[in-house]
Structure 1
Amino acid sequence: MTYDIPARSVGNPPAVPSPSASDPVAYVPVPPDPHAAVSIRGLVKRFGEKIAVNGLALDIPVGSFYGLVGPNGAGKTTTLNMVTGLLRPDAGTAMILGADVWDDVNRAKRVIGVMPQGDQIFDRLTGLQLLVYAGMLRGMGRAEVVSRANDLLAAFDLTDDADKMVADYSAGMTKKICLASAMIHSPRILVLDEPFESVDPVSSANLRDILAEYAATGGTVIISSHVMALVEKMCTHVAIVNAGQVCAAGTVAQVAAGEDLEDRFMQLVGGRHEAAKLSWLDGGASAVPAPDAAPAPDAPAGAEALR
């Protein structure tokens, strides 16, 4: 479904016309979709005077590979944090598989896997220890979690580094172990914030294959990314977010509307301008004095020493 949500006051959920005898243009809220993997209505979050998420509404189908894209500060990460129970919204509703997240946060967290950032993990553990720890926190038995951890280490090309402390991992390796920790309990929904950042092309291709296979079995993948080409290639659905609201959402083809997704993104969020004209930024074309050139007659004392 593609949303074209009109401008509205903060906190008002999306609405559809509901004609009546007294008011033919009355509006009623669209209820959340209980059959969606994620259904959001009227989500709001403020930080002081800043409104980070402004009445956002979105439905994410079960089994979809969903991309959430938008400029920096658009509200993508804040929205995902509210949906996954990490940040309480100021208003609105977020439902996962038909259940309100904030009615029972622990229940919601049991069915989702959230990829942590590198500074949110215990990096003094080895890669294997971190995965075992993540699985046992989910209530898994030790034998099962060790088996799954070894499978994930092999899938992410980390077997040789299983006994190395995560603090000694490269940025790309850290990204992979964080993703593996989100998958260890086989969640029904995976939420990944910039999962391919700092990951080399070969590992990125392997990760995409794993995620695509997961989605094909009925799992739902939600990623936020700034890389339009990646989203266009990988995702079945996409939502473009700007200023805390959804500008457009639906299948990639619906949102792109016959254009390149990046061009469509630029049309919807705006903000692109002509390159700044910096006269001094000329790639070295400006004349450079020869090293042995004498200082100008009116050069200040000490100028020669600074050449």
Structure 2
Amino acid sequence: MDEPAIEVRGLRKSFEKKEAVAGIDLDIAAGSLAGLVGPNGAGKTTTLSMMTGLLRPDAGRIVIKGLDVWADPVAAKAVIGVVPAEARLFERLSGEEVLEYAGRLRGLPAAEARSRAAQLLEMLDLAADAKRLVADYSTGMRKKAALGCALIHNPSVLFLDEPLEGVDPISADVIRRLLTRLVGSGATVLFSSHVMELVEQVCDHVSVIDKGRILATG
């Protein structure tokens, strides 16, 4: 068998006396569209934050595409894209400027960042609003712009925390289609959600989490 795109072993995190993540083991196969499902407060965001190098675990190991996230963070973060639940975008930039800036931060040459931004804005149904300030974007448009920023460097693994939270149905459909298309091109996607309907519609692999433990996976 091929080695998993995402491999998690013994992941733990406590905040004072509360154990938020209680020893998670998880494998996500390359090319999967995987969902991490559970009620609010189950430990989804804490788990994703540790997996993407945003929150240091108390114990455990995370390997993405053969790279240890905490032993070699720069190399690991180069192959991943992340859309956090509360995506903070630069309000006084336009949609296209935000994506271009994200591309430049990822080390893309200016011309490549510009062409890649235009391509993603088209795919995300934001081309008509590319010149508008992000401050004037709706929740759905912001979520799509954040997704564009996460995809600008063409990552092989994408993490999303509650990607359709507060998103209108049309934007949600655009995001769903894009995730399916990404996986079809060979990328791996892992997203957290408490919406079972979304997971049933798009996922080929599901892990159920509650009280910081994986209850079922497959």
TM-score, reference length from structure 2? 0.96
Aligned to 1:216: 184
Query: Which residue of structure 1 aligns with residue 57 of structure 2?
Result: 89
**8 A Cα contact 1:115 1:193, kept in partner:** yes
Query: 1:178 and 2:146 equivalent?
Result: yes
Correspondences of 1:4-19 after superposition (within 5 Å): none
Aligned residues of 1:34 and 1:99 also touching (Cα < 8 A): no
The 2-side partners of 1:168 and 1:66 are apart by 32
Pick one of 150, 153, 174 that aligns with 2:121. 153
Tell whether 2:34 aligns with 1:70.
no
Unpaired segments ≥5 residues, structure 2: none
Q: Is the 8 A contact 2:33 2:205 kept in 1?
A: yes
Per the alignment, in what secondary structure is the counterpart of residue 70 of structure 2? helix
1:126 aligns to what?
94
Counterpart mapping for 1:125-274 below 5 A:
125-250=93-218
- Separation (CA, whole Å) in 1 of partners of 2:197 and 2:102: 32
Residue 15 (structure 2) pairs with residue 40 (structure 1): no
Deviation, 1:99, is 2.0
Aligned counterparts of 1:191 and 1:156: Cα–Cα separation in 2 = 17
TM normalised by structure 1 equals: 0.69
Shift, 1:221, TM fit:
0.6
Q: Distance in 2 between matches of 1:216 and 1:59?
A: 19
1:78-125 CA-partner distances (Å, limit 9, x unpaired): 011101000110001111112211111111100000014455222221
Task: Give, in whole Å, the separation in 1 of the partners of 2:88 and 2:138.
Answer: 16
Contact kept? 1:118, 1:178, Cα under 8 Å: no
> CA shift at 1:177, angstroms?
0.5
Matched residues in 2 for 1:118 and 1:134: separation? 17
- The runs of at least 4 aligned residues of structure 1 exceeding 4 Å deviation read none
- What amino acid does structure 1 have at the position aligned with 2:119? D
Answer whether contact 1:127 1:166 (CA < 8 A) is retained. yes
Cα distance between partner residues in 2 of 1:67 and 1:109: 20
Distance 1:211 1:157, change over 3 A: same
2 CA distance for matches of 1:197 and 1:189? 21
Report deviation, 1:202: 2.3
- Residue ranges of structure 1 left out of the alignment (5+ in a row): 1-32, 251-307
Q: Aligned to 1:56, which of 18, 24, 28?
A: 24
For 1:116 and 1:125, the matched residues in 2 are separated by 19
Q: Secondary structure at the match of 1:58?
A: strand
* 1:36–1:62 Cα contact (<8 Å) kept: yes
- Identical columns (%): 54
- Structure number having the greater strand percentage: 2
Q: Which has the larger radius of gyration?
A: 1
DSSP 3-state at the match of 1:103: coil
Once the two structures are superposed, residues 3-38 of structure 1 have per-residue CA deviations (whole angstroms, 9 ceiling, x without a partner) of xxxxxxxxxxxxxxxxxxxxxxxxxxxxxx981111
SS of corresponding position for 2:25:
strand
Q: Is the 8 A contact 2:87 2:143 kept in 1?
A: no
What is the RMSD of the two structures over their aligned residues, measured on CA atoms?
Answer: 1.4
Q: Which has the higher contact order (CA 8 A, sep 6+)?
A: 2
Q: Which of residues 104, 109, 117 in structure 1 aligns to 2:72?
A: 104
Deviation of 1:198 (Å): 2.4
